[in-house]
Amino acid sequence: MTEPIRIESNSLREFVANVLQKSFVPESDSLLAADVLCTADEWGIRSHGVSRLRSYYEMLQNGRIKAIAKPRIVRDNPTVAVIDGDNGLGMVVAAAASKIAFDRGASMGAAWVSVFNSNHFGIAGYYVVKGLERQLIGIAMTNTPAVVSQFLGTERMLGTNPIAVAFPAGKEPAVVIDMATSAVSLGVVENALREGTMLPPGVIASATGTWSTDPHDFVNNGSLLPLGSNSLGSAHKGYCLTALIDIFCGPLSGAQWGPFVSAFRTPATNSFRQVGKGIGHLFGALSVGAFTEIDTYHERIDDWIRTMRSSPPIVGNPPLVIPGDPERNAAQLNRALGIPLDQTVALDLERLARAVCPL
């Protein structure tokens, strides 16, 4: 792998926003979507960053995603709202929906907003950190195209279905969880394919459901394994988690679910059926102040964080971290040095720039 090219973070945001605007995305929406994508790269989650700009661009160009979408509330209760995303950019729909969840959580103590007819929303963690200053515990989840097999299954039946949860802290930085519920994310397999390397055991299965270390077996109708990898590692738990998020985001919201979530990159093995509309999300908010005095909670969570960080690691490892530390450390570095782009991604963005603005 060659050295990444580093691009100053505001320049990259501007570039991404411009590409989206050329596809008729309104300016404010384009800035927001650019911020989600570039934040992913800043946090070191490159598989969800600007490397995906081309697929968003193409989906906007061919009308698969609406550039000018009008998400609207279709069901409205004080603590629960349901939003039709109008097939807009997932990042734009998700930002609007999570804002509603947070506003209601702040006033009601607890709230949920479910979304259907949306699209891939980037990193789940982006949305939940927006509630931290308001002392809200934020929850975000989404279903995604089916690439994961059920426990003991053979087919691609569920997405990597990520969940993010952020807990505000006092003097310490927040605890921010953001994780796919499969053993590894699709990006790990894509990397192995690109670099011609093998995968560790317990990550993918071939089309028959048997473990494989060859990423090509995934391409040939194989699947990602649920978190836990097999019975000994309790992969039924990974299956439970992925299923949980799929039900919250699909059957509950009215979006597609399971093997029928629209797969624009990796077709699922099952024959497609229309069981709902688009991709689904669920956003939750819990107001810390509804549970306890905020200062008291801050003291407790700061103590929790310091306690977890101060426990001795396995010899030879760096100090232990809390969820959110790796992304914060990456962001600090990348904001100072510029956002790192793989050379293939940088080349692709250059080509995209020429396609958007031919001279």
2-10, 27-35, 91-99, 236-244 -> range binding a copy of itself (CB under 8 A): 236-244
Site for a copy of itself in 326-345 (CB under 8 A): none
Q: How far is the CB of 10 from a copy of itself (least distance, A)?
A: 31
Identity of the residue, 155 or 214, whose beta carbon is nearer to a copy of itself in the bound complex: 155
Give the per-residue contact string, 87-116, with a copy of itself (x = CB under 8 A; - = no). Answer: ---------------------xxxxx-x--
Q: How far is the CB of 102 from a copy of itself (least distance, A)?
A: 14
Give the count of residues interacting with a copy of itself (CB under 8 A): 86
| DSSP annotation string for 288-312 | HHHHS-HHHHHHHHHHHHHHHHHSP
Expressed in angstroms, the distance from the first to the final Cα of the chain is: 32
CA 269 to CA 325: how far, in whole Å? 37
Binding status of residue 177 toward a copy of itself by CB under 8 A = yes
CA 9 to CA 123: how far, in whole Å? 17
Binder among 203, 224, 279, 352 for a copy of itself (CB under 8 A)? 203
Site for a copy of itself in 293-322 (CB under 8 A): 296-297, 300-301, 303-304, 307-308, 311-315, 317, 320, 322
SS3 assignment, position 87: coil
Binder among 33, 83, 128, 288 for a copy of itself (CB under 8 A)? 288
**Residue 146 contacts residue 270 (beta carbons within 8 Å):** yes
Give the per-residue contact string, 127-166, with a copy of itself (x = CB under 8 A; - = no). Answer: ----------x------------xxxxxx-x-------x-
The overall longest dimension of the chain from CA atoms, in Å, is 60
Report which DSSP code applies to 149: P
What type of residue sits at position 315? V
Closest of 24, 40, 133 to residue 340, by C-alpha:
40
